[in-house]
Amino acid sequence: LIGLPGEKIEIKDGTVWVNGEALQGQSFRRTYYDVGYYGQGEHVVPPDSYFVLGDNSENSDDSRFWGYVPRKNILGRAFLVYWPPHRIRILR
């Protein structure tokens, strides 16, 4: 989960920006032209929606491609990391 309702999201030069601040730990090798519509330019997350990015950014179809996720479509919370094996852990 990268962007909350009302936040400004931009992916520029391989860096994710939230409200004008670079997000540490999220970067992309893809260029500006390789991403979908929502990965270009600055966007404001609409009310009751969220902007999500997959952790495998080079091969994830996420909000960059299919847009914002409405709150009503979020059914639960992640509780476990199981891949890759060296990162297996329970989330709090």
pLDDT of residue 28: 67
pLDDT of residue 48: 97
What is the residue-wise DSSP string for the chain?
A: --B-TT-EEEEETTEEEETTEEEEEEE--S-GGGS-GGGSSEEEPPTTEEB---SSGGG--SHHHH-PEEGGG------EE-SSGGG-EE--
- Quick check: 5 pLDDT over 90? yes
- Checking phi first, is residue 71 left (phi over 0); if not, alpha (psi -120 to 50) or beta? alpha
Topology given in CATH for the domain delimited by 8-90? Umud Fragment, subunit A (2.10.109)
Quote the pTM value: 0.78
pLDDT digits (tens, 9 = 90+) for 31-50: 444 556 666 788 899 999 99
pLDDT of residue 31: 46
Given a contact cutoff of 8 angstroms between Cβ atoms, the answer to whether 43 and 36 are in contact is: no
DSSP letter assigned to residue 68: P
Helices (H), 1-92: 63-66
Mean pLDDT computed over every residue of the chain: 85
Report residue 30's pLDDT band, with 50, 70 and 90 as the boundaries: low
Tokens (6 digits) for 85: 């094996």
